[in-house]
């Protein structure tokens, strides 16, 4: 792993223009350089989570103002999925603030997956750790992607989360892959990690075999009440470098410019697309925090001459 981390760190250390040129070349070899894929998120079960992820506004133990809500009714989910589709999204991602689904939790999610898939949208779910058999049940219901992030480097992980370990995450990813689901797996930067640790995260993602089809790169959204609130913000150009390094090392993956876009100037987003990002979360909300309005995003894509995949 160290060799791989060294190699990614060497990329991150390149002069900015050299790094972006290399990323853009790799990007053009594998993708239409002007195309972006749009995924819309919906929180189907908000708040009250027993885990202690230091970045997350939905952990019950942090006082962030996010209330513990019940699972949304199917009709509400379908209404949101129809709206997402009408706005131009191609993938609908359903997130739940669970450590993982209990057996009784899964049935309503399977209904949602069937119904959303029937609309002709790609389906994605992010429900936490999976137990034996659950990935297969989701796959049979028509789930296309399962999102489960490594979040950060193994060596920084313990500073962010104590209620589950890195191996648990790799284990769930293994179950997802084994069930024949597409893997969506990425991480968060801007949590106070070093450049070396960002390199180690990317090296881990690139070492998954096969590599994940989708790789969300989140910039920490700082929420008051979470332990990471007040962390020094990452330099935007360092965020762009991280995207470029991900593009070069994950040449076939959709790299998603994920959380943190609302706080990001258009010029920085444009640099991220130049660095090889070719997917975004699209819709006015992420799970509990804001995202650019769809109209604003459409205007930005128009301005950049980008089309949707
Ligand atoms: N509870 C499930 C789990 O953690 O596996 C699924 C939902 S969880 C909110 C999905 C991902 O959202 C996390 O792994 C993390 O990468 C990202 N995330 C959560 N809060 C965030 C924040 N404040 N800023 C950026 N990304 C965040
Ligand atoms: C991912 O990597 N980012 C999304 C999605 N996968 C589930 C979630 C971002 C959450 C940002 C904080 C919030 O809105 O609660
Ligand atoms: Fe719970 Fe997921 Fe938030 Fe962690 S990231 S506290 S598991 S909702």
Provide the whole-model pTM.
0.98
- Ligand 1 neighbour 37 (Cβ under 6 A): no
Place 27 in a pLDDT band, splitting at 50, 70 and 90: very high
**Of all atoms in ligand 1, which is nearest to the CA of residue 223?**
23
151 CB under 6 A from ligand 1?
A: yes
Q: Which residue's C-alpha comes closest to atom 2 of ligand 2? A: 216
Q: Cα 19 to the chain's mean position, in Å?
A: 23
Which residues face 218 on adjacent strands? Answer: 188
Q: Which residues are catalytic?
A: 49, 53, 56, 93, 124, 184, 256
Secondary structure of residue 209 in the 3-state scheme: coil
Q: Which two tokens stand for residue 175?
A: 């179950």
Confidence (pLDDT) at 164: 96
Strand blocks (E) in 64-153:
91-96, 122-126, 145-147
pLDDT digits (tens, 9 = 90+) for 226-257: 999 999 999 999 999 999 999 999 999 999 99
Q: List strand residue ranges (DSSP E) for 134-174, in order.
A: 145-147
First CA to last CA distance, the chain: 34
Work out the pLDDT band at 31, boundaries 50, 70, 90.
Answer: very high
The rounded mean pLDDT for the chain is: 97
What average pLDDT does this structure show over 100-110?
96
- Supply the pLDDT for residue 1: 54
Q: How far is the CA of 266 from the centre of ligand 3 (A)?
A: 29
- Residue 309: pLDDT above 90? no
Q: How far is the CA of 56 from the centre of ligand 3 (A)?
A: 6
Share of the chain above pLDDT 70, in %: 99
β-bridge mates for residue 170, sequence order: none
For residue 219, name the pLDDT band (cuts at 50, 70, 90).
Answer: very high
**218: Cβ below 6 Å to ligand 2?**
yes
């Amino acid at each position: 792993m160290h060799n791989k981390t060294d190699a990614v760190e060497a990329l991150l250390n390149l002069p900015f223009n050299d790094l972006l040129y290399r990323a853009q070349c790799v990007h053009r070899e594998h993708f239409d350089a002007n195309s972006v894929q749009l995924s819309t998120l919906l929180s189907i079960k908000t708040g009250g989570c027993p885990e202690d992820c230091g970045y997350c506004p939905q952990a019950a133990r942090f006082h962030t103002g996010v209330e513990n809500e019940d699972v949304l009714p199917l009709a509400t989910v379908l209404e949101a999925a129809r709206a997402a589709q009408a706005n131009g999204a191609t993938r609908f991602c359903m997130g739940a603030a669970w450590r993982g689904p209990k057996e009784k939790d899964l049935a309503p999610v399977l209904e949602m997956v069937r119904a959303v898939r029937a609309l002709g949208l790609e389906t994605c779910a992010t429900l936490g750790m999976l137990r034996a058999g659950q990935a297969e049940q989701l796959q049979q219901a028509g789930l296309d992607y399962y999102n489960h992030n490594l979040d950060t480097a193994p060596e920084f992980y313990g500073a962010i989360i104590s209620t589950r370990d890195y191996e648990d995450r790799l284990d769930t990813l293994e179950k997802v892959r084994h069930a024949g689901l597409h893997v969506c797996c990425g991480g968060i930067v801007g949590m106070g990690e070093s450049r070396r640790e960002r390199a180690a995260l990317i090296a881990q993602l690139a070492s998954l075999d096969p590599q994940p089809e989708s790789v969300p790169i989140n910039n920490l959204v700082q929420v008051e009440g979470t332990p990471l609130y007040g962390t020094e913000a990452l330099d935007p150009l360092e965020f762009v470098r991280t995207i470029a390094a991900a593009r070069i090392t994950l040449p076939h993956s959709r790299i998603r410019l994920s959380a943190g876009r609302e706080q990001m100037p258009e010029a920085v987003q444009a640099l991220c697309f130049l660095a090889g990002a070719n997917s975004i979360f699209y819709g006015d909300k992420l799970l509990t925090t804001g995202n650019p309005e769809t109209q604003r995003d459409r205007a930005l894509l128009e301005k950049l001459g980008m089309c949707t995949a």
